[in-house]
Structure 1
């Protein structure tokens, strides 16, 4: 067994936001709002933006909307931040098409989720990712989120995929910390925490940073966790992680999708967001008020 001791260089930065996709009141794509939100997030400390992921409501946006979003956000942030385009679908051929479109639109990389619903075996999962990685010149982030897809990228599969020159990173929502550390210890894959409660824990064992839904709300506060750790103040990093717990729980573990809760709070704050698309439904007033209270407490801490 080989081991690696050096933390991989962050291919897309450390602090990435899984950005919501703003819509107008009528439900149309709000490109102006997306540009304003992207600029705000980068100004507040995000190194990169992940577009059209789970939080970006990718199942309900068209291929044309996904490409238009990449182009608009690139125009807004220029080279100040990396742009990773979510291209994952349940269909390998469609995923390849979206990958090529993202490359043409100006993305720096693509986020590819495990094919969902059909529950392919591991050899098929591996072939899916290799096919997508072979299709373009863009680096690939594997998105391991079995709670939504129904299928893991098993650690042994991850170890084999790490040999591909364009498979460079993982968004980790596996909730398998031992499996994650196994891959970290034996590859140079850059691991991004996809679950905010794991930001510091994963970073401390060699992770690269995070791809965060909650960063739509408090980008500076989440980045400060990484900054404190990098400065050698691990006690402060732990306190900052703990202070964020209430908002993380309110946003991500309150029985509603993170897209719904984030848009509720962003709308309450007067920032670009708009409605969610069906079948999602907006959060109620009580939920929005609770989110606002948790947000204000974190901001005041």
Structure 2
């Protein structure tokens, strides 16, 4: 895929910050939406953030996403969000992974704040932004479709970084962007992909086929720009790859990164039997992790990887509505996947 040009953003105090004007390309592969780690006093644990990013890079991931749901972006101040992404970039560069792209979650409830977060992401040395539709007023007011289209267009016009659209109805008050809407927005030169966590493989099929056709038409007009479609859950990674998705941006890759990568490699190499086996392993593990949410994900990471800790309050810690039985259920459910991970 061809790289994208970046505008030169302004810092919050009005100073112009200079950046490399070519972003790192998004390639086929597995991406992980990383958790944000905290010390006992709930301050950022920058050492754990750095360590985890490098661990994922060494496992063969194609890129990392900060400030997603797993990253507890809603629990962070704007300055903390910048620091998390900066820390991730610095750690990757120092470990020899300077070409690995960082996608930054920048969804907010107003167009104005979303654009501001996109500019902050550029200051933090992110490469792409991932945007959920605004949803706070959806049930009371119901956004007209044209308002949502205008939202994404306005953000893409103003963002110094290329935009990926995130369709996840469960995290957006039920807002579910249709394939027609996504293909309409895909024509924008600064909208370069989608993460689909809706589980609708029919929609994914239409988006992949439609953006492929759109790319052919743009090439004929010499106006082409790349477009990437990513599965939003390891649970349906294999069928997504079969439909033509370039990979997945999946939470389970924080715990089983090598297994996720191995599945994609097996599928790409035509090893159908191995791909199906790994897909089953990931699907069973993903069900457990999804039930536990970010609290369960961090608990599993702490138990299996030696770091992970807890979430910022009001999310509970072990013993605060989370019993040892819950933890053991999560551990038992992840054990098959963990055994496979250790074998790779």
Q: 1:293 aligns with which of 326, 332, 341?
A: 332
1:172–1:193 CA contact under 8 A, matched in 2 = yes
Q: 1:264 aligns with which of 299, 308, 314?
A: 299
After TM superposition, where is structure 1 displaced by more than 6 Å over at least 4 residues in a row?
none
1:36–1:272 CA contact under 8 A, matched in 2 = no
Aligned to 2:33: 18
Map Cα deviations across residues 241-294 of structure 1 (whole Å, 9 max, x no partner).
012222111101x2x42x111101111135332221223223432222222233
Aligned to 1:82: 101
Map Cα deviations across residues 128-178 of structure 1 (whole Å, 9 max, x no partner).
111111113311110000112121122211111000111111110122221
1:200 matched to 2:247? The reply is no
Aligned to 2:265: 227
Query: Structure 1 pair 288/162, CA: closer, same or farther in 2 (3 Å)?
Result: same
1:154 matched to 2:189? The reply is no
Aligned to 1:7: none
* CA–CA distance in structure 2, aligned partners of residues 299 and 154 of structure 1: 36
Aligned to 2:165: 142
1:99 matched to 2:113? The reply is no
Give 1:203 shift.
0.7
Q: 1:38 aligns with which of 47, 53, 56?
A: 53
SS of the residue aligned with 2:119? helix
SS of the residue aligned with 1:54? coil
- State which structure, 1 or 2, has the greater radius of gyration over its C-alpha atoms: 2
Gaps of 5+ in 2: 1-24, 213-226
Give 1:11 shift.
2.0
Alignment RMSD: 1.5
TM-score (norm: length of structure 1) = 0.92
2:199–2:236 CA contact under 8 A, matched in 1 = no
* CA–CA distance in structure 2, aligned partners of residues 65 and 285 of structure 1: 32
Task: Give the number of equivalent residue pairs.
Answer: 289
Q: 2:254 aligns with which of 213, 216, 231?
A: 216
Give 1:214 shift.
0.8
1:51–1:86 CA contact under 8 A, matched in 2 = yes
Give 1:12 shift.
4.7
Query: Structure 1 pair 271/86, CA: closer, same or farther in 2 (3 Å)?
Result: farther
* CA–CA distance in structure 1, aligned partners of residues 249 and 75 of structure 2: 21
* CA–CA distance in structure 2, aligned partners of residues 284 and 192 of structure 1: 35
Greater relative CO, 1 or 2 (CA 8 Å, sep 6+): 1
1:139–1:166 CA contact under 8 A, matched in 2 = yes
* CA–CA distance in structure 2, aligned partners of residues 195 and 295 of structure 1: 16
TM-score (norm: length of structure 2) = 0.81
SS of the residue aligned with 2:160? coil
* CA–CA distance in structure 2, aligned partners of residues 106 and 265 of structure 1: 30
1:13–1:48 CA contact under 8 A, matched in 2 = no
* CA–CA distance in structure 2, aligned partners of residues 239 and 296 of structure 1: 15
Map Cα deviations across residues 168-208 of structure 1 (whole Å, 9 max, x no partner).
11110122221221121111431111022110101111001
Which shows bigger deviation, 239-248 or 34-43? 239-248
* CA–CA distance in structure 2, aligned partners of residues 56 and 287 of structure 1: 22
Give 1:85 shift.
0.6
